[in-house]
């Protein structure tokens, strides 16, 4: 077996040193009522080539977005990843190291995460950020729990523009903590009144921009109302590239900002692993979940980095910890950070412009297709269209033509028949004019 | 003249005129190591004896501080926000945590005097 | 462009502060880049924008660097990290085994790595088949009835398990109040129980490092919802009375959660179902060799007994008449399923599952049996060859990790931490220190099955020599360690008292 260095001669000498006759003797504490040689109905070992062939066989049963015009979003956005990102994160020193608990031999990971924390602060307009969460959905749940700790209140209000998976995860993860969540109905038209619902028994209000239906919002007035009532404003961002073009949530007055980082650095990988970005105000620093990297000096007075404020965390605080999170998304955070470092200020803002204008151009073209009506209102790189028939079969019909044309809203909201004809469409820098032509032609045909 | 009492949770309380000043003992600060942060209650909070009212953190540990008596918080040591190290330098002096207006002075009878506390600590080692 | 010399007087004996392969590296933000860009992007289309009123006004403040600058920056940073690729990593409870490169390759296959999570289910049948195949491995290896594939890490899997316990108790009419957790447990156990609204009651250990059955019996009641037990436990020992523990827990109407952090000792040899467990998470980033990546991503699929399986969260893959189905909503789940909710966006850590599947297929059931055997043999070999110079608090045999306490350092002036830092200078990652809490100054060593006898012998020789040095009164040698690392001991008190969590531009004088 290629991953196991011991040979039988080694094993014999080692058993001798231990003073037992066989490896089985080392398992003598396993109780006798447990079957000693259980039957496993599983295959035996295979070589590299056979395993690769099996994966290729899985792959050919899928429609690869690399081989099909793709307009899918709904919380996961396809972007081109520079080759240098994957090459760097596959360096064994990053890939195969553990959590940097021994700072003297982990300065690489620690410095990179310190840079990541800084980038997250800059993008979101916030003061402090942690070293990552699993994804935006779980980070939203952590934000709700944190707001409840900070305000000592137990009610959460969630906008109808927040990604339904984020909402489901919040409801699940706060469900047994005594926190009650009010979830507003899906709001494709952007008509819900949040300001009027803010009162002084809320821990936080959770909103998203661009919203699940693509719509942009300015939460400045909402933030002011929240702060007047002692309520925290939590802003979620599903598409971080939008932060290259849009006013950052921190400038609107957000108290906690949660971002799904999977747009940058990593392949979509069917939705995971990704990375959740989590940022807040300095005054709430000690209530944050997750790991934090801080700057310090070594005994020779040289600048270095360590994990810090760890008394918030489970390995020290146990049942009183701010979260149970331990392993997070370190390597994805690194990939995000490297991609952003390659883009830089000019590249990142240009990428945002390219994305927005791609979507603007596509919306214009789709509005000329009979049976397609883009919803009005400002958007970034994703928008909703109303079709003149249910969206799910249309999407299937497009897929049969080799086009991943959009996401039917009904997949998330089967209980809302009024949303049945709604489809989310995204365009990014990866979509050329040929993609647009293909979608327009196919959609025209399918809706005929 | 202030009277000094100690709890088994390693808090001290010095009482004068119905107001108790509370902190952690020299022994407790030695056990914790370098204190990096102290979280204090809000002035005006009503406290029951035994409530966890404050948290004292070192790099590798966090300990709850329990109120040795019931009453209302009347003052907190604001200096600790910028200089948590005062708890190490002067645990039973400038490193005090909060002042509490006692609601039931008879609760002090359950606490130890210096001599008994020293013996208690010795028994722990 | 300005060259930043961060530490011109660094004690390296060089004029730059650099030391051969170890080069001082400024932060990204200090590299003098402003207008550069490491990506050539297409030009934006010539259409009006729709952002009026929502547009960013000021600069973000990101540096602008070319591709070679960025590649060199991160390459230099990487050279300041220890890694399993580069050396022995006997970190107890962390299962730092070799991470096969085949796993990385297959996860990047076109048609798998690039799939969008919201593609029509008809276009991802191969992906669902791969998830189903991984689930089949986990069920086959554990003998359990069901598995939730979506948890993102070990602690997330624990949360999944305890939420299922809570949902099952609620379905019986009473969520109950308490989760029992042994003193030696990982911190995630009590933190997880608290997140599920339970209070935590600790169970003490016996003098031989196992659960105190009498204490467990005394604490079991109608208020107890479940027990969380790591097995093998964090002292590296198999809980001999695990069957009796399971029976006691079940008799009290409670569920038995087995923390799977140490599954590497049992895989391919013991079926978890045979131990009486109702739920266990499996850290794919430990037992199934997917890389730790400096702290994630991981995955923590959670297997369930018949009693808990109906409560598994959304989404899940199901075999249907027309191929694989992806069940994403309660309406789709049907009447037999009572999912307690959703734990993660989309469908879980697919990329990690693929890596783990490649590993499972590579090892096979015969390889798993050999791997757990070698892992346990390696740990016992360390124990056997070190117990005369270190101090072992418990009788062996151990399972996949060997525990020592700091008794052998008594009166030397050297602590567990000092010894660990000295090991760094010798080229090793230290063992886990000061955990579990049930012994004083713990040193927990987990060699894993992917280390050779030669590596173990060299490590043993080093530890023996260091122990002799400590006992010979050379405390100063240890206090000064590490000396040869990019940074020496760092001031954690300073970091925590005056937290600096981000770079900020230097203030103008």
Chain B positions touching C496 (Cβ under 8 A) are 36-37, 57, 59
Interface subset of A 275-334, CB within 8 angstroms of C? 275, 285, 291-300, 302-306, 308-309, 313-321, 323-332, 334
CA distance A274 to A336: 10
What tokens appear for C485 in the block? 């690392």
Residue B2 pLDDT more than 90? Answer: no
> Which B residues, 2 through 61, put their C-beta within 8 Å of a C-beta on chain A?
37, 39, 57-61
B62 contact A CB<8A:
yes
The domain spans of chain A are: 65-81+345-446, 83-339
Q: Which residues of B touch C497 (CB under 8 A)?
A: 34, 36-37, 84-85
pLDDT band (50, 70, 90) for residue C509: low
Q: Give the C-alpha separation, C289 to C85, whole Å.
A: 12
Dig out the tokens for A281 from the structure.
């105000």
Q: Which of residues 395-424 of C touch A (CB under 8 A)?
A: 397, 399, 420-421, 424
Q: Which residues in chain A are contacts of C296 at CB distance < 8 A? A: 132, 134, 273, 327-332
Tell me the average pLDDT across B12-37: 93
- Distance (Å, rounded) from C-alpha A153 to C-alpha C54? 32
Name C14's Cβ contacts closer than 8 Å, sequence gap at least 6: none
* Closest C-alpha to C164, from B11, A342, A172, A178: A172
Asked whether the beta carbons of residue C453 and residue A5 sit closer than 8 angstroms, the reply is yes
Partnered with residue C326 across adjacent β-strands are C317
DSSP string of chain B, one letter each residue = --EEEE-TTSEEEEEETTEEEEEE-HHHHHHH-SEEEEE-PPTT-EE-TT-EEEEEEESS-EEEEE-SS-EEEEEE-THHHH-TTHHHH-TTTTT--EEEEES-GGGGGGSB-HHHHHHHHHHH-
**Residue C21: pLDDT band with limits 50, 70, 90:** confident
What span, in angstroms and rounded, lies between the C-alpha atoms of A23 and C372?
10
DSSP bridge pairs for A373: A386
Size of interface A-B (CB pairs under 8 A): 17
Task: Please report the beta strands in A220-272, taking only residues with DSSP state E, as ranges in sequence order.
Answer: 232-237, 256-260
Instruction: Give me the pLDDT at residue C50, please.
Output: 84
**CB < 8 Å to B36, chain C:** 493, 496-497
- Average pLDDT of the segment spanning C496-505: 94
How far CA C236 is from CA of A218, A382, C208, C395, in Å, comes to 55, 52, 11, 11
Is it the case that residue A233 has pLDDT exceeding 50?
Answer: yes
Both tokens assigned to C374: 């070698």
Question: pLDDT at residue C255 above 70?
Answer: yes
Judge whether B36 is closer than 8 Å to chain C, CB to CB.
Answer: yes
CATH of C103-359 given 3.40.50.300, 3.90.1300.10, 3.40.640.10, 3.40.50.2300: 3.40.640.10
Tens of pLDDT, residues C336-370: 999 999 999 999 999 999 999 999 999 999 999 99
Band the pLDDT of C377: cuts 50, 70, 90.
Answer: very high
Q: Are strands B98-102 and B19-24 parallel, antiparallel or unpaired?
A: antiparallel
pLDDT of A35 over the 90 cut: no
pLDDT tens digits, one per residue of C384-405: 999 999 999 998 899 999 999 9
How many residues would you count in chain B?
A: 125
- In which band, very low, low, confident or very high, does the pLDDT at B124 lie, cut at 50, 70 and 90? confident
pLDDT band, very low/low/confident/very high, at C8 (cuts 50, 70, 90): very low
pLDDT-derived band at C12, boundaries 50, 70, 90: low
Question: In whole angstroms, how far apart are CA C196 and each of A172, A173, A287, C163, C355?
Answer: 10, 8, 19, 6, 31
* Residue A6 near residue C374 (C-beta atoms within 8 A): yes
C22 by DSSP, 3-state: which?
A: strand
Helix (H/G/I), strand (E/B), else coil: A128: strand
CA distance A146 to A136: 15
pLDDT at B71 over 80: yes
The chain A residue lying nearest B58, using CA atoms, is: A311
Average pLDDT estimate for A183-205: 96
pLDDT score, position B103: 94
CA–CA min distance A99, chain B (Å)? 17
pLDDT digits (tens, 9 = 90+) for C74-129: 999 999 999 999 999 999 999 999 999 999 999 999 999 999 999 999 999 999 99
CB contact under 8 A, C240 and A31: yes
Work out the mean pLDDT of chain C and round it to a whole number. Answer: 94
Q: How many other CB atoms are there within 10 angstroms of residue C372's CB atom?
A: 24
| Chain C nearest C-alpha distance from A61 (Å) | 5
Predicted confidence (pLDDT) per residue in C302-330, tens digit: 999 999 999 999 999 999 999 999 999 99
Q: What is the pLDDT of residue A314?
A: 78
Q: Which tokens in the block code for residue C484?
A: 């040869």
Of the candidates C145, C71, C490, the one whose C-alpha atom is nearest the C-alpha of residue C307 is: C145
Chain A residues within an 8 Å CB radius of B66: none
Is residue C158 classed as helix, strand or coil in its secondary structure? helix
| pLDDT tens digits, one per residue of A56-103 | 999 999 999 999 999 999 999 999 999 999 999 999 999 999 999 999
Strand, helix or coil at A424?
strand
Q: Which helix (DSSP H) or strand (DSSP E) does residue C363 occupy?
A: helix C350-386
Supply the pLDDT for residue C250.
98
The answer on pLDDT for C7 being more than 50 is no
Extended beta strands in C231-298, E state:
255-259, 279-281
Q: What is the mean pLDDT of residues A42-49?
A: 97
Domain ranges of chain B: 3-124
Identify the closest residue of chain A to B62 by CA–CA distance: A311
- For residue A275, what pLDDT is reported? 97
A336 in contact with chain C, both atoms CB, cutoff 8 A: no
Over residues C218-232, the pLDDT tens digits come to 999 999 999 999 999
Strand B35-39 vs strand B52-58: parallel, antiparallel, or unpaired? Answer: antiparallel
Contact A316 B37 (CB under 8 A): no
> According to the model, what pLDDT value does residue C390 have?
96
d(C-alpha C82, C-alpha A329), whole Å: 18
In the numeric block, the tokens 């309520």 are attached to: A231
CA-to-CA distance for A90 and A243, rounded, in angstroms?
Answer: 27
Which of A23-27, A34-38, A127-131, C499-503 shows the lowest per-residue confidence on average (mean pLDDT)? A34-38
Of A30, A62, A106, the CB nearest to C238: A30
The answer, for C488 touching chain A at a CB cutoff of 8 Å, is: yes
A45 close to C366: Cβ distance less than 8 angstroms:
yes
Q: Is the confidence at residue A41, as pLDDT, over 70?
A: yes
Q: Give the count of alpha carbons within 13 A of A193, CB side only.
A: 3
- Residue contact B84–C497, C-beta within 8 A: yes
Q: What local confidence, expressed as pLDDT, does residue C3 receive?
A: 43
CATH number for the domain whose boundaries are B3-124? 2.40.50.100
Residues of A in contact with B39 (CB under 8 A): 286
pLDDT at C6 over 50: no
Calpha distance A247→A125 (Å, rounded)? 9
> Using the 8-state DSSP alphabet, how is residue A206 labeled?
E
Q: What are phi and psi of C55, to 5 degrees?
A: -70, 150
Q: Residue range A47-58: average pLDDT?
A: 98
Q: In whole angstroms, how far apart are CA C193 and each of A32, A390, C161, C224?
A: 31, 44, 10, 12
Alpha helices by DSSP H, A6-59: 8-18, 23-26, 48-59
CA of B34 vs chain C CAs: smallest distance (Å): 7
Residue of C100, C112, C383 with shortest CB distance to A62: C112
Say how far apart CA A109 and CA A293 lie, in whole Å: 10
Q: Which residues of A159-173 are buried (b: 16+ CB within 10 A; e: fewer)?
A: bbbbbbbbbbbbbbb
Name the closest residue on chain B to residue C494, using Cα atoms: B36
Q: Exposed, middle or buried, B113 (CB in 10 Å: 0-12/13-18/19+)?
A: exposed
Question: Cα Rg for chain B, rounded, in angstroms?
Answer: 13
- CATH 3.90.1150.10 in chain C, residue ranges: 373-494
Assigned fold of C373-494: 3.90.1150
Q: What is the pLDDT of residue C2?
A: 40
Looking at the complex, does the CB of residue B37 fall below 8 Å from at least one CB of chain C? yes
**At CB < 8 Å, which residues of chain C contact B?**
492-493, 496-497
pLDDT at C422: 97
Return the C-alpha torsion angle A148, A150, A151, A154, nearest 10: 10
d(CA A207, CA A187): 11
Sort strands A202-208 and A232-237 into parallel, antiparallel or unpaired.
parallel
Distance from CA of B15 to the nearest CA of A (A): 31
**Closest chain A C-alpha to B71 CA, distance in angstroms:** 21
CATH 3.40.640.10 assigned to domain A83-339? The reply is: yes
B33 or A243, which is more confident: A243
Q: Say what angle helices C125-142 and A48-59 make with each other, to 10 degrees.
A: 130
Using pLDDT thresholds of 50, 70 and 90, give the confidence band for residue A38: confident
Q: Can you tell me the distance from the alpha carbon of C122 to that of C132, in angstroms, rounded to the nearest whole number?
A: 15
The answer to whether the CB atoms of B60 and A316 lie below 8 A apart is: yes
pLDDT of residue A312: 82
Chain B partners of C499 at a C-beta cutoff of 8 Å?
A: none
Task: State pLDDT tens for residues C28-40.
Answer: 999 987 889 999 9
Location of structure tokens 């089967």: A414
Residue A380 C-beta-side C-alpha neighbours within 13 Å: 33
Q: Measured between alpha carbons, how far apart are the two ends of chain B, in Å? A: 32
Q: Which architecture, in CATH terms, is A65-81+345-446?
A: Alpha-Beta Complex (3.90)
Other residues' Cβ atoms within 10 Å of the Cβ of residue A220: 13
User: Under a CB-based contact definition with an 8 Å cutoff, are residues A424 and A213 in contact?
Assistant: yes
In chain B, residues 1-30 whose CB comes closer than 8 Å to chain C: none
- Sequence ranges of chain C with CATH classification 3.40.640.10: 103-359
C497/B85 CB distance under 8 A: yes
Which of A51-65, A231-245, B21-35, C105-119 has the lowest average pLDDT? B21-35
Within an 8 Å CB–CB cutoff, is residue A316 touching chain B? yes
Per-residue pLDDT at A317: 77
Residue in chain C closest to B33 (alpha carbons) equals: C493
Rounded Cα distance between C486 and C301, Å, is 37
Residue A419: pLDDT over 70: yes
- What percent helix, strand, coil does chain A show, rounded to 5? 45, 15, 40
């Amino acid at each position: 077996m290629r991953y196991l260095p011991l040979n039988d001669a080694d094993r014999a000498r080692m058993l001798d040193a231990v003073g037992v006759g066989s490896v089985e003797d080392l398992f003598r504490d396993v109780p006798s009522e447990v079957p000693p040689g259980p039957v496993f109905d599983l295959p035996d070992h295979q070589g590299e080539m056979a395993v690769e062939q099996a994966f290729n066989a899985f792959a050919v049963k899928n429609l690869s977005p690399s081989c099909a015009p793709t307009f899918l979003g709904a919380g996961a956005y396809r972007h081109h990843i520079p080759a240098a990102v994957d090459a760097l994160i596959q360096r064994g020193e990053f890939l195969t190291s553990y959590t940097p608990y021994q700072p003297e031999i982990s300065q690489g990971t620690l410095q990179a995460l310190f840079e990541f924390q800084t980038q997250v602060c800059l993008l979101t307009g916030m003061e402090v950020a942690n070293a990552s969460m699993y994804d935006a959905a779980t980070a939203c749940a952590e934000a709700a729990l944190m707001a409840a700790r900070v305000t000592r209140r137990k009610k959460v209000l969630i906008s109808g523009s927040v990604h339904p998976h984020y909402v489901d995860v919040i409801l699940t993860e706060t469900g047994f903590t005594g926190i009650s969540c009010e979830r507003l109905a899906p709001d494709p038209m952007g008509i819900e009144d949040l300001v009027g619902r803010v009162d002084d028994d809320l821990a936080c209000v959770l909103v998203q921009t661009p919203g699940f239906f693509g719509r942009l919002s300015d939460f400045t007035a909402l933030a002011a109302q929240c702060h007047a009532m002692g309520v925290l404003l939590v802003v979620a961002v599903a598409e971080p590239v939008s932060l290259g073009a849009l006013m950052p949530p921190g400038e609107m007055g957000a108290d906690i900002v949660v971002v799904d980082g999977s747009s940058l650095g990593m392949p979509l990988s069917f939705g995971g692993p990704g990375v959740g970005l989590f940022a807040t105000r300095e005054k709430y620093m000690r209530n944050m979940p997750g790991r934090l990297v801080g700057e310090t000096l070594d005994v020779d007075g040289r600048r270095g980095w360590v994990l810090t404020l760890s008394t918030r965390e489970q390995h020290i605080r146990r049942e009183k910890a701010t979260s149970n999170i331990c392993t997070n998304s370190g390597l994805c955070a690194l990939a995000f950070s490297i991609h952003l470092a390659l883009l830089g200020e000019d590249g990142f803002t240009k990428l945002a412009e390219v994305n927005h204008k791609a979507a603007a151009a596509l919306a214009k073209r789709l509005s000329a297709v009979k049976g397609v009506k883009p919803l009005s209102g400002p958007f970034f790189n994703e928008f909703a269209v109303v079709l003149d028939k249910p969206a799910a079969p249309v999407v299937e019909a497009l897929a049969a033509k080799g086009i991943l044309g959009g996401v039917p809203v009904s997949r998330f909201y089967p209980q809302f028949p009024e949303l049945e004809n709604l489809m989310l469409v995204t365009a990014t820098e990866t979509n050329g004019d040929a993609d647009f032509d293909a979608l327009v032609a196919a959609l025209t045909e399918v809706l005929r | 003249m202030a009277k000094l009492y100690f709890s088994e949770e390693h808090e001290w309380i010095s009482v004068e005129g119905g107001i108790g000043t509370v902190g952690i003992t020299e022994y407790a600060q030695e056990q914790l190591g370098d204190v990096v942060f102290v979280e204090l209650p809000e002035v005006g909070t009503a406290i029951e004896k035994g409530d966890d009212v404050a948290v004292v953190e070192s790099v590798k540990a966090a300990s709850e501080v329990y109120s040795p008596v019931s009453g209302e918080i009347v003052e907190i040591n604001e200096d600790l926000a910028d200089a948590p190290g005062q708890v190490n330098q002067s645990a039973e002096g400038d490193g005090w945590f909060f002042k509490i207006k006692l609601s039931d002075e008879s609760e002090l009878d359950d606490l130890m005097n210096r001599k008994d506390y020293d013996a208690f600590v010795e028994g722990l080692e | 462009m300005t060259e930043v010399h961060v530490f011109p007087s660094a004690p390296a004996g060089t004029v730059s502060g650099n030391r051969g392969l170890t080069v001082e590296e400024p932060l990204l933000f200090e590299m003098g880049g402003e207008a550069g860009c490491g990506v050539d992007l297409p030009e934006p289309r010539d259409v009006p924008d729709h952002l009026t009123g929502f547009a960013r006004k000021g600069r973000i403040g990101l540096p602008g660097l070319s591709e070679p600058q960025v590649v060199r920056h991160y390459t230099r940073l990487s050279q300041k990290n220890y890694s399993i690729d580069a050396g022995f990593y006997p970190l107890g409870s962390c299962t730092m085994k070799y991470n096969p490169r085949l796993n990385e390759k297959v996860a990047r296959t076109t048609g798998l790595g690039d799939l969008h999570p919201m593609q029509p289910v008809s276009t991802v049948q191969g992906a669902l088949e791969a998830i189903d195949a991984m689930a089949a491995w986990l069920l086959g290896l554990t003998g359990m009835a069901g598995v939730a594939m979506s948890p993102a890490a070990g602690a997330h899997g624990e949360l999944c398990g305890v939420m299922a316990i809570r949902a099952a108790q609620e379905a019986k009419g009473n969520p109950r109040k308490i989760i029992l957790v042994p003193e030696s447990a990982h911190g995630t156990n009590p933190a997880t129980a608290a997140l599920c609204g339970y209070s935590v009651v600790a169970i003490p250990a016996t003098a031989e490092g196992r659960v105190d059955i009498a204490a467990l019996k005394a604490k079991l009641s109608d208020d107890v919802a479940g027990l969380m037990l790591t097995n093998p436990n964090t002292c590296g020992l198999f809980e001999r009375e695990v069957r009796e523990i399971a029976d006691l827990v079940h008799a009290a109407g409670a569920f038995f959660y087995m923390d799977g952090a140490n599954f590497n000792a049992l895989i391919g040899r013991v079926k978890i179902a045979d131990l009486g467990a109702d739920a266990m998470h499996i850290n794919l980033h430990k037992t199934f060799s997917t890389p730790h990546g400096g702290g994630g991503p991981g995955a923590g699929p959670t297997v369930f007994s018949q009693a808990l399986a109906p409560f598994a969260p959304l989404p899940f893959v199901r075999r249907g008449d027309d191929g694989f189905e992806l069940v994403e909503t309660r309406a789709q789940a049907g009447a037999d399923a009572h999912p307690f909710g959703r734990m993660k966006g989309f469908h879980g850590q697919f990329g990690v599952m693929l890596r783990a599947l490649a590993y499972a297929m590579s090892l096979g059931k015969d390889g798993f049996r050999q791997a757990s055997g070698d892992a346990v043999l390696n740990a016992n070999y360390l124990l056997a060859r070190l117990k005369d110079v270190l101090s072992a608090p418990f009788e062996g045999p151990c399972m996949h990790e060997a525990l020592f306490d700091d008794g052998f350092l008594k009166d030397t002036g050297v602590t567990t931490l000092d010894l660990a830092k000295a090991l760094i200078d010798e080229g090793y990652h230290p063992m886990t220190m000061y955990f579990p809490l049930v012994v004083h100054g713990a040193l927990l060593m987990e060699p894993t099955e992917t280390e050779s006898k030669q590596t173990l012998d060299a490590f043993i020789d080093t530890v023996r020599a260091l122990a002799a040095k400590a006992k010979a009164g050379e405390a100063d040698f240890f206090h000064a360690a590490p000396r040869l690392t990019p940074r020496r001991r760092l001031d954690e008190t300073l970091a925590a008292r005056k937290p600096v969590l981000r770079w900020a531009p230097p203030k103008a004088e």
